[in-house]
Structure 1
Amino acid sequence: MLTDEERQWQDTVQRYMDRNVRPIVAEMEKAGRPPAALLKDMGEQGLLGSFAPEEYGGGGGSLMTRAILAEETARVDAGLDATLFVNISLVARHLIRHGTEAQKRKYLVPLLGGTASASICLTEPHGGSNALSPKTVGRRDGDGWVINGSKTFITNAPIADFFMVFARTSGEDRRAHGGTCFIVDRDATGLSTGKPFDKLSLRSSPTGEVFLDNVRVSDDQILGEVDKGFYYMLEGLDLERVFEGASNTGIAQACLDLAVSYSSEREVFGQRLSEYQMTQDKIARMAMGVEMSRVMFYHLVRAVENGEDVTRAAAVLKLYSSEAAVEASREVVQILGGYGLMEEYPAARLYRDAKHHEIGAGTSEIQKIIIAKQTYEKARPAH
């Protein structure tokens, strides 16, 4: 399902991650952020903007190249993947699709070059899944806008150079029309961020709060059109869930690799763990989850490239792949036994990181609601 060029890209990314990222995962987890030098090097190596237009520093490749990077990054460190996920899969793609030429030059170019990070400011303290009912508002004031509100659980907030802030500017609560996306620079008067959260999962990716107190912005800091921001957000959610499938596949693959390696060497009661049928059952189920997740996310990336509607299928992928990753992480801890509980082994980190994906980008419960609703809508009448 990959072209020869995409397979070459996959090999390149795998080698880079194993050589440059794997040795510093523990350091990133302790620091709570990826090193700026790493992001810059990834930008210089062309890893970040593989699918972006060449005129902005991208590689002009397929969207699949971005999905491959997500899987291979998550295979080594899901925290780093989360930071890149926001910078590239979300913010950069929004800029490519809806940004002005000036916005692309100011914000997109440094993102692809690895010299800037960004945040998507959507979730609020009163609830994350009710995205169309923000309390953050933007009001017209003279020749500009004033934004007031707060956001929480914002990936990259402690290190972001700019923020895409979704605010209600008109319209009714729980309606897509009337939301606007503002691009706000970190040094804007009235914008502040809280201290980084101490998280269970994705510890090498910083997360925090964003506060907006009478933040003034001009018209040229609006992404796309006024009152159309929530449509951009909803459009981005489908792709976000497809890339979640790539990330989950990477985590599950890492679990499988570790489980196979350990069980092939560990001896218990005179036999290698790999010779016990209960171990083989676990390995088979893990391998099944990896393969099914990968096949589906490959399929959906191609569908997105072709402009197809993938809302229901993306929810299915997100739900299935996150559950598969969580199962794989649970089983690798079980196979390693006491060693699986030790932080010096990657199993404990994989166990923590996998759980995030049943919550972030829409909980499993939300995915089930989407799947059921769309299934009913598409059902044929009984005869």
Structure 2
Amino acid sequence: MTAFTLIDKNGATRTVEANPAPAFAKPTHPLTSRVAYAAAHVVPLAWADNTPGRPAEVDWDATIGFRRMVWSWGLGVADCMDTAQRNLGMDWAATAELMRRSGAAAREYAAKEGWGRSVADLVSVGVNTDQLEQGGDYTLAQIVDAYLEQLNVCEEAGDGPVIMCSRHLCRTAQSPADYVKVYDEVIGAAKQPVILHWLGEVFDAQLHGYFGSPDWREASKTVLEIIEHNPGKVRGVKMSLLDADSERYMRAMLPEGTMMLTGDDFHYVDLIKDAEQADPRTGGRAVMHSNALLGAFSVLAPHASAAIQALDRGDEAEYLRILEPTQALAQQVFVHPTEFYKTSVAFMSWLNGHQPAFQMVGGLQSARSLPNLSRVVELANDCGAFERPELAAERWNALLAINGIAR
């Protein structure tokens, strides 16, 4: 019997039998009912000095291999995002190289796949200002220049641009108008439509009050003004506030042609599903849904693909049967302190055989406790998130053993 040893916060252990992997089928044509990106992590070289404060040394074969796995399920990859340890271990040199390598791999994959997906369909990357010194004081013009430097690397690689929230802009901006000014300049320089990333302070405390207010209703006015100033140039908004009500309100306010991509790893099942809701523009009701740009989908690529394939067939019941059981796992992956969810993402990648070691850039693999990871194992087993249950059990039980925890 293949089994997992589980451990609780008091050190007590118990054993559960491993469930079989679900028999999901990969798609044979593009997904149509939803746009879906999985925010992917990076894999470090296991033998390199990826300790805190050191420049990232990336295992490029494993990192790009993970992205090819995501593409094989019909999903796009959101790369160089917070999941890829932006502002938490990945330096700009490594990030720029990731932009280039992901774009090249996507171009090669698209040519072989033959589905007509563009490079931007396969990979959209985060454009930020994190090449600037953290904690430094910068003018709005310098922040624009930093954004444009990264945008240039993104576009040269052929990637789709995701304009990320900037810690530097959050610290420098004195009003909503400052955000509008910076975003107008960056979006105006972009050669293709962009996705705006709205990352809440639950993910990064240094983004408190982003878009000019800690009140999301006030901040949403700034986002909508930016979109209004740039007609046809904002492809979508990715919201990561972990607040379903704010996302439903915002998606109802978006102009036609601008989609909502949920970044809500706590409520994605309902947000992606069609639902009737109040339309604040008309005072009536309308059926709306979110698309997806989720870190959780990098843990659950087969489930995400199978669920969207079900929606493509018009089978909402099957969508719920597949995806609803995954929500508890995602909530554990993103449990407080939420910024360290990347540790659980890398952990699941290792258990599923997508990387050779449970290591992370900056030594971040230590950011979750064994009981925390044990709960991830339990919930992943419950919902069938282990692609190779025997390997997952072997690796997890070995990790416990080297930490002095025996069955």
User: Comparing both structures, which one devotes a greater share of its residues to helix?
Assistant: 1
Same fold (TM over 0.5): no
Please give the TM-score of this superposition, normalised by the length of structure 2: 0.29
Please give the TM-score of this superposition, normalised by the length of structure 1: 0.30
More RCO (CA 8 Å, sep 6+): 2
